[in-house]
Amino acid sequence: MKKSKTPPSKSKILFGIGISILFVILGLSIFMSEADNQVRINPTLVKSVAAAVILFFGVTGIYGIVKFISKKDAS
């Protein structure tokens, strides 16, 4: 039995790209300024989590851009 695959809509892909950009900006903001201004949590831990957020959502944003631009299904 052959399974049919429907590609996601362009609007959903654009929404995902926008959310990824938002989280990358938020991660950069935390990494650059907020990590050094707080005292409750170790600043190194905060910077590590911010770097992980930047890396994860940066990769998902790039994947979304490639999927949006791609003519065929990029699964």
DSSP annotation of 1 reads -
Given pLDDT bands bounded at 50, 70 and 90, which one contains residue 74? very low
Give residue 7's pLDDT. 74
Query: Is pLDDT of 35 > 60?
Result: yes
Mean pLDDT of 14-21: 96
Average confidence score pLDDT of the chain: 87
pLDDT surpassing 80 at residue 38:
no
Q: Cα(26)–Cα(31) distance, rounded to whole angstroms?
A: 9
